[in-house]
Structure 1
Amino acid sequence: MRVKCVICDKIEGIEDESLEAKRLRNRPIHTYMCNDCSLRISEKTKARIDSGNFRFYRARSEKDDW
């Protein structure tokens, strides 16, 4: 299966029977990101977390309500 990275537009091939290929076929909203872009984003996120200027926002749950 040929896939295109949403960030760098690099076209790669993945196995048709892989779990990632099945997810992309069955749920069109899911997008593919190549390993280089994924690694770059995770490194930059870790650096922002370590700097202290990063805040995690989570969805409010029923436990948070008064």
Structure 2
Amino acid sequence: MRVKCVICDKIDTLDDESIIAKRLRNRPIHTYMCSDCHDRIRDKTNARIETGNFRLYRSRPDKDEW
């Protein structure tokens, strides 16, 4: 299966029976990101976390849980 990275437009080939290929085929909302872009985003996020200026905003819990 040929896939294209959503960030850098690099075209990769995945095995048709791999889990990633099955997810992309069965759930069109999922997108593919190459390992280079994934690693770059991970490294930059970790660097931002280390500075202390990073806030992770999550959805508010239901009122029943409070």
Instruction: Confirm or deny a common fold (TM above 0.5).
Output: yes
Sequence identity of aligned pairs in percent?
A: 69
Q: How does 1:37-48 map to 2 (within 5 A)?
A: 37-48=37-48
- Indicate the RMSD between aligned Cα atoms, in angstroms: 0.7
**CA distance, structure 2, for counterparts of residue 54 and residue 9 of structure 1:** 28
Unaligned runs of 5+ in 1: none
* CA deviation after TM superposition for structure 1 residue 61, in Å: 1.1
Whether 2:46 is the aligned partner of 1:49: answer no
TM-score in terms of structure 2 length = 0.93
Whether 2:28 is the aligned partner of 1:28: answer yes
Query: Quick check: which one's helix share is greater?
Result: 2
Runs (4 or more) in structure 1 with deviation over 4 Å come to: none
Q: Cα deviations across residues 4-61 of structure 1 (Å, max 9, x unaligned)?
A: 0000000000000000000000000100000000000000000000001100111111
2:48 partner letter: R
Unaligned runs of 5+ in 2: none
